[in-house]
Copies of this chain bind each other. A is one copy, B any other.
Amino acid sequence: MKISVVKNILEANQRLAEENRRRFSLSRLLVVNLMSSPGAGKTSLLERTIQSLKGEFEMGVIEGDIQSTYDAERIGRTGIPVVQINTGGACHLDSNMIQEALKSLEIASLDLLFIENVGNLVCPAEFNLGEDFKAMILSVAEGDDKPLKYPLMFHESQVLLINKIDLLPFCDCDLNLIAERALKINPHLTIFQVSCRTGEGLTAWTDWLKQKIKEQKQNFIEKTKFT
């Protein structure tokens, strides 16, 4: 009984995720669903990434939080459009919330849309939002056992950003072990080692992102040619 309820919720979400995907595709933008534990550095990564890509690309952010507009205010200070979703207790974003948020965002003018999910290493991994890819952040302060304990998030993500590498000398955390355990769950995972505090490693991430934005536009042009 409980399982069938959950299944219905997931199926309903998936239908709306497909609708979102079609809308995103029509607007030719790249959409990234950013997930992590609380405090792993999602908003800091967005601030850094926006600073780096501003001027070159048009960006927007949908901020997901249980309550408060704290993160949206931080993103707002970078000068790009941001919409805050308050889930009012819910531990993840779903596709319906994204549809509501899109009413307040001009996605046709964007190249890149970030969706910052609720801080939670469990539930958000179950809910597709219509994104092009899921990126997860793991802070080295969380420890190298996280892929073993929260495998779904590592399985569903295309990108793993290992953040706060400036804390490595002060933590009992083995980067190679994280990579080894994560790749065992998901061999296609692209891994970046970064510090949003010092800026280390962020160029590799933003270069990769630029390439993805360009590929997305190229794909659209090629699709249009043949239809």
Contact = CB atoms under 8 A, between A and B. Distances in A.
A12 to B, nearest CB: 9
Nearest to A126: B89
Interface string A72-108: 0000000000000000010100000000000000000
Interface residues of A, number: 40
Contacts of A37: 37-39, 119, 121, 142
Interface string A135-174: 0000101110110111110000000000010110011100
Give this chain's copy count: 2
A179 interface: no
Contact of A122 (B118, B146, B149, B166): B118
A139 B39 CA distance: 9
A197 interface: yes
A151 B148 CA distance: 28
A65 interface: yes
Interface string A101-141: 00000000000000000111111001000000000000101
Contacts of A139: 39, 141
A170 to B, nearest CB: 6
Contacts of A65: 149
A120 to B, nearest CB: 5
B150 A66 contact: yes
B148 A68 contact: yes
Contacts of A146: 38-39
A66 B149 contact: yes
A221 interface: no
A219 interface: no
Contacts of A166: 170
B172 A119 contact: no
6 contacts: A37-B39, A38-B121, A66-B122, A122-B123, A141-B164, A167-B167
The 4 closest A-B pairs by CB, nearest first: A39-B142, A141-B141, A91-B122, A37-B38
